[in-house]
Amino acid sequence: MIDSNVATIFLVDDQEETRTRHERVLREAGFNVATFANAAQFLEVYNPGAAGCIVCEFKLPDMGALELLRVLQAKELEPTFMVLTRHDDVSNAVRSLKAGAFDFLEKPVETEVLTNQVQLALQEDAKRRRARRVRTEISDRHVRLTRREREVMKLMVSGKASKEIASYLELSPRTVESHRARIMRKMEANSLPELVRYSMLMQSTCCSQILKALHEVEPNTVTSLQPVLV
């Protein structure tokens, strides 16, 4: 059984000799490795919550690497996915990157290149997992808002002033101010720009967009989220 708490290299390759060599190289470098001869074997045991990265041969007997990547993406997953291609297969390498692969490796892969790129992929995976945890934390805060507070927040982050919100929702300015104060407290936002960024985080589906918004959050906000980011 694969431990989802330990970063694992999921190596999918139907060529036994290549698969065995890559597994040996990665294990000797200290990585945890799980190997599969085809996509079906991989999908049968893959846990989307597991830390790690996927290294997949471009052409497999049952499902190509890009098709496998699309299957995972259709499940709203954004795995750190690397594709193994022939050294002269530039077109498929480009297709892989356009499809959302993190990187591609040209076969035969040198030992140092393989271990270095896998290490980079694991770092990227950690960033993406961090981004998803942050989005979940912000979304959980948003759930605590009442229906009216969500309406007010939507107008706040769109740039509406309190008087405009009061007029639009047919509320008194004082009531709007009370809603604003509760929204800021429940969302744990220290400023309106921060609240706007939180709104952007919740709407983002791409981890790179989440990370970009996260980097723009004020320093004290990042500190307050440390339990979530670890």
Domain end point (choices 71, 99, 128): 128
CB atoms within 10 A of CB 62: 13
The span from the CA of 175 to the CA of 167, in Å, is: 11
12/114 same-domain check: yes
pLDDT of residue 128: 87
pLDDT of residue 221: 41
Strands of the chain, DSSP E? 8-12, 32-36, 52-57, 81-86, 103-107
Does the pTM surpass 0.75? The reply is no
4 in Cβ contact with 48 (< 8 Å):
no
Residue 3 lies in a domain: no
Q: Which distant-in-sequence residues (6+ apart) come within 8 Å of 193 by Cβ?
A: 218
Bridge partners (DSSP) listed for residue 7: none
25/124 same-domain check: yes
pLDDT of residue 208: 55
The CATH number of residue 154's host domain is 1.10.10.10
Domain end point (choices 69, 97, 128): 128
The CATH number of residue 92's host domain is 3.40.50.2300
Residue 1 lies in a domain: no
pLDDT of residue 212: 58
Q: Degrees (nearest 5) of the Cα angle 172, 145, 157?
A: 65
Q: DSSP character for 199?
A: H
Q: How many structural domains does the chain have?
A: 2
pLDDT of residue 81: 95
Ranges of the chain whose pLDDT falls below 50: 216-230
